[in-house]
Amino acid sequence: MSKDKIDDIFDVTKMEKTIKKAKRRANWKTVLITLIVLIVVTVIGMIANREINYRLEMPVLESSDDFHEISAPDEFIGKLERYQEILGGENHYTTYKIIEGKVVYTGQEKYGFGLFRDEYLNRISTESPSIIGDSFAEDDLQKQHYNELGQREMVFFYPFLQYKTYRNDLASLDHIGKEKVMEIALSFDRGYTFKEVQSLIPSKMTLTWLWVDDVNEDKDNFKFKKFDKKNDKVIGTENALRSEKTVYGVSLLDENGDTKEEPVQSFISAIESGKQYKTRWQGEFKRLDETLSGKDGQLTDDDLHYYGAVVTGDAKTLSQLKGLPFIKATSIGVITDKY
């Protein structure tokens, strides 16, 4: 071995430089490997999170759509915005009504999904003045209720109850301008079949929605206790009624305002679909299925009867409803310009 090589072996400075260079290479290699691993893990995590979120979201999304199908007279889900986070997220959507072909914005809603939030988005309560709340009983008829946009709430009356006061909004038609169109809820004197309702409603107005008889007259409670607020004592009872926000029924129009080919089947299919998913609406889907189904336990068209309906038109057209014997009460909802 040459003298120069021997000197290099014992040159401490050169050895330190060589060691540092090797360490730097090792450190950079470690950093690079770490970055690659992080990128791979992040990408895989994002893909996995998206797939998990999809599985967490779909039951809630389907249930929400199904529930809107069987409720909310004349109302449809509009723009849907979906937000995903870690193992969950939330969806925001707008709603609208179709009144004689006119699209009317009615508000927005949202719900959550995932492992760390529920459909209520962990909301513990909702408070509002009674004038923009739901109607539940006869005392609520003392004032017209509205939603947060100032649109009128429709109310429905049970045919088998005798109310002290009935809503008769047909009497207001003469005060509504010719340039307006509106929706109006009709409460019938008894339950009717689908074909009977179609034959009863005058042909020149648009029949948009049917209120399904979803109660058991023998078992359900239709009385609310009245309290004396000063003494906190029960001073009587009042009959229950149904707000448009709490009724269930069959929509005869689709989200584009076109007539559905099989509206009753859409209603039944939504209940069959919705009762499968463990969401906040599952209990109502199951209750409706049990209440509406026939003796064979299968829900069919023939099992459904209707206590009311919603029709749309202008004041002149809707005035044809005046004096019809099968109509027990009428309640105007959204009023809008024709154009």
**DSSP output for 33-79:** HHHHHHHHHHHHHHHHHHHHHHHHHHHHHHHHHHHHHHSSTTEEEEE
- Is the pLDDT higher at 93 or at 46? 93
Helices (H), 275-319: 282-292, 315-318
pLDDT at 12: 65
Across 104-110, average pLDDT: 97
Task: Please state, in angstroms and rounded to a whole number, the distance separating the CA atoms of residues 161 and 270.
Answer: 29
Q: State the burial class of residue 131 (Cβ atoms within 10 Å of its Cβ: 0-12, 13-18, 19+).
A: exposed
DSSP for 69-125, written as a single string: HHSSTTEEEEEEEEEEETTEEEEEEEEEEEETTEEEEEEEEEEEEESS--TTTT---
Contacts of residue 80, Cβ cutoff 8 Å, sequence gap at least 6: 91, 92, 93
pLDDT at 28: 84
Q: Please say whether the beta carbons of 88 and 56 come within 8 A.
A: yes
- The sign of the CA dihedral 284, 289, 291, 292 is positive
Q: Region 128-132: what's the mean pLDDT?
A: 89
Buried b or exposed e, range 241-254, using 16+ CB within 10 angstroms: bbbbbebbbbbbbe
Average pLDDT over residues 196-206: 95
Rg (CA), the chain: 31
Predicted confidence (pLDDT) per residue in 48-86, tens digit: 888 998 999 999 999 999 999 999 999 999 999 999 999
CA distance 114 to 53: 7
pLDDT at 278: 94
159-187 pLDDT per residue, tens? 999 999 999 999 999 999 999 999 999 99
Give the separation between CA 316 and CA 330, rounded to whole angstroms.
16
Question: What is the mean predicted confidence (pLDDT) over 92-117?
Answer: 95
> For a pLDDT cut of 70, what percent of the chain falls above it?
94
Report the C-alpha gap between 124 and 140 in whole angstroms: 25
| pLDDT of 36 | 87
Residue 231 has pLDDT above 60, yes or no: yes
Inter-residue contact 70 to 270 (CB < 8 Å): yes
Q: Which of 221-230, 239-248, 257-266, 278-287 has the lowest mean pLDDT?
A: 221-230
* pLDDT at residue 94 in the model: 98
Average pLDDT over residues 222-244: 83
pLDDT higher than 90, residue 106: yes
Q: What angle do CA 264, 318, 323 make, to 5 degrees?
A: 100
Place of tokens 């057209």: 317
Whether 129 shows a pLDDT value over 70: the answer reads: yes
What 3-state DSSP class applies to 286? helix
Q: How confident is the model at residue 298 (pLDDT cuts 50, 70, 90)?
A: very high
The residue among 78 and 47 whose pLDDT is bigger is: 78
| pLDDT the model gives residue 324 | 97
Report the pLDDT value the prediction gives residue 100, as an integer from 0 to 100: 96
Band of pLDDT at residue 305, cut at 50, 70 and 90: very high
Q: Is the pTM of this model over 0.85?
A: yes
- The closest alpha carbon to 275, from 306, 307, 297, 308, belongs to 297
Q: In terms of Cα–Cα distance, which of 270, 264, 266 is closest to 306?
A: 264
The answer to whether residues 153 and 135 touch, using CB atoms and an 8 Å cutoff, is yes
Mean predicted confidence (pLDDT) in 299-314? 97
Q: What is the mean pLDDT of residues 104-109?
A: 97
Q: What is the pLDDT of residue 296?
A: 86
